[in-house]
Structure 1
Amino acid sequence: MTDRFILADDPIALPQGAWAKTERRTLRRGNLPVLSLTQGHHRPYLFPVYTPQGFAVTSECPADHPHHNSCWIASDHVDCWMPAADGRKEQYTYNFYVNETFQGRAPGRILQTQAMGEETAAGYRITQEMEWRGPVEWAAPEGRLAARERRRLDLKLEGGAYVIDVESALSAAAWDLSLGPTRHAYFNLRVAESIAVTSGGRVVNDRGASGGAAVSGAGAHWVHYCGPVGGGHWAGLALFPDPRDHRDPWWFVADWGVVTVGPFRLEKRDIRQGETMTLRYRVLLHDGDLPAAVIAERYAAYLAGLR
């Protein structure tokens, strides 16, 4: 089996004259699937996501939170400052996190408009172009364009684990916008049910805290979820927010399997016209029951590569 990465459309057998409403493209290493680019109704996300031995470690649309889409980027509290008559600006408030109206904010959609893949010296790079569009409303039948995003995924096999470096560059469209303050942003993971603490897994951070309540809050450099995946095997994933973008990252982690980290839990982030907000993260997907000391070593190697 070759170790080359190949990105291809998933074949779907449909009757003549029918077409798929959304798409899924799968990245494979040889014959093994690594991850799939999925365009859901409300946002693009990565699902399934596998370890090198082929264990799926995330959950797509769990019944308790159907807007938890495996590995995804989203934000509640997105405000557009729209020009109005007499030089005034009006605040239009949207929600790009929950699939329904949430706390009075109508749901928008994040739409992938283009995706390109290419082999790199280290592995494979995927570049996606996105539009953040508000809901259908009066005078905006396709939804107002709130923001544009370029998302880059660099994937490689390193030290027996998959490493995904994610860079999200969010730009203002034709008006200024603000994100937050909210805990429902920005980078999110929903682990597979078997890995959750409630099913026998564990979640820890670099400070030695264990369990969702203890891990949640500010300041941790990384969070690691690990648990049983069947047949006596364990697998897990770790999330490293880039310290250049997250001086004091705020985490929301639950024993039932969600991990969210972002830089604007307490303060909003303004993005003016012509400006871009760039946030970066590393996801480590591994097989086995790795101790915290090994995750700490992988984080140290990540920091060294940023210099």
Structure 2
Amino acid sequence: MTDSHLLHCAGRPVARYLLRPELPAGHAPRPYFHPVRTLAGTPVTEELPADHPHHLGVGVAVPDVEGQNFWGGRTFVRDQGPTELDNHGEQRHTGFPLRDEDGFVAELRWTAGGRPLLRERRTVAAAELSGSAWALDFTFCLTNTTDGPLSIGSPQTNGRPGAAYGGFFWRAPKEPEPPRVFTAAAEGEDRVHGSRADWLALGGAGWTLVFAGATEGTRRDPWFVRAADYPGVGSSLASDGRLPLAAGETLVRRVVTVVADGAVSRPDAAELARKAVAL
């Protein structure tokens, strides 16, 4: 089996999915997308950046699954702060039940210290929205495969306010100027971070990403947003408190991301998000 899969949209390669990346020590190995490009070829992801070497393009990363770190880097410990621990888990790709040029279904196993914790089914599709925009439709289903309850946490639930990251995460390229961040009702990192907006846009030099939470029947997770320090957007599975997962229980999340060339206005971002979610 090859170690990567090239995703196409409108006849063009737009993203490479890395199945078994070779990573330095201190990482939580996992499959991820990098590079992801606009239809014009502009890269909109970054991997192993100097500011946060454990950031890996687009994927699913969780800093605390029953105390095990599937994010990489240090673990935030209550009353102690970021701490180097030997607790990095691994997301292992186990197969493609379905694989086409414009999408796939992947099976993964989440293990820590050799102990299986979660089974994941990841469903991904690429679709053209216009001559300058396409959508990455990303759904992940996590099932507790242990014989007891598990819980998902974040640095925020462990005592660090404003750091409820964990879940879907997109690391964008760092540029000389911070990206513009906005929703239908708010502008700027401070106002957008932690909101439960239907969609959120991140705009850089010659590109715009519009993220839409689209999970049916589930309360929308808050958005985790960074712009000034580094450009990144993700969902917050564990924000107000730890997220419990009973034995055999499955959680499902879907995030659809519009990848557009150029700057996108607020009305156009709303329309692109609407079209993407309706795919």
TM-score, structure 1 length as denominator? Answer: 0.75
User: Which residues of structure 1 form unaligned runs of 5+?
Assistant: 1-7, 10-22, 80-92, 136-142, 229-233
* CA-CA distance at 1:240 after TM superposition: 0.7
User: Which residues of structure 2 form unaligned runs of 5+?
Assistant: 24-28, 78-82, 158-163
CA distance in structure 2 between the partners assigned to 1:295 and 1:159 by the alignment: 13
Name the count of aligned residue pairs: 253
Q: 2:116 aligns with which of 145, 150, 155?
A: 145
The equivalences for 1:61-72 within 5 A come to 61-72=48-59
Report the AA paired with residue 168 of structure 1. F
Maintained 8 Å contact 2:39/2:261: yes
The equivalences for 1:1-307 within 5 A come to 9=2, 23-29=3-9, 32-38=12-18, 39-40=20-21, 41=23, 42-79=29-66, 93-100=67-74, 102-103=76-77, 106-119=87-100, 124-135=102-113, 143-160=114-131, 161-175=133-147, 176-181=149-154, 182=157, 183-194=164-175, 199=177, 201-210=179-188, 212-228=189-205, 234-242=206-214, 244=216, 247-255=219-227, 256-302=230-276, 305=278
TM-score, structure 2 length as denominator? Answer: 0.82
| Relative contact order, higher structure (CA 8 A, sep 6+) | 2
CA distance in structure 2 between the partners assigned to 1:223 and 1:97 by the alignment: 23
Cα-to-partner distance string for 1:126-185 (whole Å, 9 max, x where unaligned): 1111111103xxxxxxx1101110100011112231111111010011232111254121
Cα-to-partner distance string for 1:185-214 (whole Å, 9 max, x where unaligned): 1111111123xxx5253121221322x222
* CA-CA distance at 1:248 after TM superposition: 4.4
* CA-CA distance at 1:113 after TM superposition: 1.2
CA distance in structure 2 between the partners assigned to 1:101 and 1:269 by the alignment: 18
* CA-CA distance at 1:125 after TM superposition: 2.3
RMSD, aligned α-carbons: 2.3
Question: Do the aligned partners of residues 49 and 117 (structure 1) sit closer, same or farther apart at CA in structure 2, a change above 3 Å counting?
Answer: farther
Maintained 8 Å contact 2:144/2:245: yes
Cα-to-partner distance string for 1:13-37 (whole Å, 9 max, x where unaligned): xxxxxxxxxx233224587421111
Maintained 8 Å contact 1:221/1:249: no
Maintained 8 Å contact 2:108/2:119: yes
Mean alpha-carbon deviation: is it higher for 49-58 or for 155-164?
155-164
Report the AA paired with residue 275 of structure 1. E
CA distance in structure 2 between the partners assigned to 1:300 and 1:62 by the alignment: 32
* CA-CA distance at 1:297 after TM superposition: 1.1
Cα-to-partner distance string for 1:11-68 (whole Å, 9 max, x where unaligned): xxxxxxxxxxxx2332245874211111334111111101111111111111111111
* CA-CA distance at 1:221 after TM superposition: 1.8
Report the AA paired with residue 53 of structure 2. P
Report the AA paired with residue 289 of structure 1. A
Report the AA paired with residue 187 of structure 2. A
Maintained 8 Å contact 1:226/1:237: yes
* CA-CA distance at 1:241 after TM superposition: 1.1
Percent identical pairs in the alignment equals: 27
Aligned equivalent of 1:15: none
Question: Do the aligned partners of residues 48 and 117 (structure 1) sit closer, same or farther apart at CA in structure 2, a change above 3 Å counting?
Answer: farther
Q: SS of the counterpart of 1:107?
A: coil
CA distance in structure 2 between the partners assigned to 1:61 and 1:116 by the alignment: 29
Maintained 8 Å contact 2:200/2:211: yes
